Amino acid sequence: MSDSGVMHAKPSTTRKLVIQTVSGALAGGVSMFGLLWVVDHRGFDVDRIDHVLTLGAGLVMALMAIFVALGASMPRLGAKVLNVEDEAEVRYERRDMLLSAVCMLLIAAGLLALALYSSGSETVIGRDVSAGIVAIAIIASTLISLFAKLRQDELNKLVVKEATAFTGNGMLIVFGGWATLAHLGYTTMFTPLTFVGGSVAIFLLGLFVVLGLRGMLQPR
């Protein structure tokens, strides 16, 4: 590539990185603030960290699903907000992207349903509603994941495998260490919701770490 080609390519990828970072940060910040404001007025206890953690994990999954779904549905937009080469790649990967988006949205719905239910008097949704949403989310996302796995290329399979290994190690360190300290009387035991929300948060962190180490977060 000539020097002029490099000069043109660099501003393009830099601009794309700025667009992705700013749009993601704004969407995440505004959505979290808005969601907390809404649920706070419906009985949600914002002082319960485990509920806020799970709510945040669900919101991140939902936003990722929305970004991917919109990008896959509108290739021109997808070429700008998603980490793809061009519109042609979006069209080629559209089916897999939409399956991934639906799966993430189902997981997000399950997390939000758990976060919005409380066994105390202050709860946003009822136990049966929460349990129903979680059951549907688990069954449907599992079936979609199994179907999508048949179409995955080796690179994506390897990324998921490495992210899963990172999650297992992270959970052992965080929750295993926490449980040990609780057993010894140095702290209180974590709640079930902390385990659920924390596990998803660790997986998301692991996914970004693996993608980053493989250079797959570099704008193209």
The tens digit of pLDDT for each residue in 89-98 reads 778 888 888 8
How far apart (Å, rounded) are the C-alpha atoms in residues 67 and 108?
14
CA distances from 8 to 2, 3, 15, 142 (A): 10, 9, 11, 43
Predicted confidence (pLDDT) at residue 220 exceeds the cutoff of 80: no
Tokens 């501003």, located at residue: 11
Mean pLDDT of 47-61: 88
Name the more confident of 79 and 24. 79
Mean pLDDT of 151-176: 87
Neighbours of 169 (CB within 10 A): 13
In contact, 123 and 116? CB cutoff 8 Å: yes
Q: Does the predicted model carry a pTM greater than 0.75?
A: yes
Tokens 């758990």, located at residue: 114
Neighbours of 191 (CB within 10 A): 16
pLDDT tier, 190 (very low <50, low <70, confident <90, very high otherwise): very high
Mean pLDDT of the chain: 81
How many Cα atoms are found within 13 Å in the side-chain-facing hemisphere of 211?
A: 13
Residue 110: closest CA among 177, 47, 65: 65
In contact, 89 and 43? CB cutoff 8 Å: no
Which burial class, exposed, middle or buried, applies to 149 when counting CB atoms under 10 A from its CB (0-12, 13-18, 19+)? exposed
The tens digit of pLDDT for each residue in 74-90 reads 787 777 767 667 777 77
pLDDT tier, 39 (very low <50, low <70, confident <90, very high otherwise): low
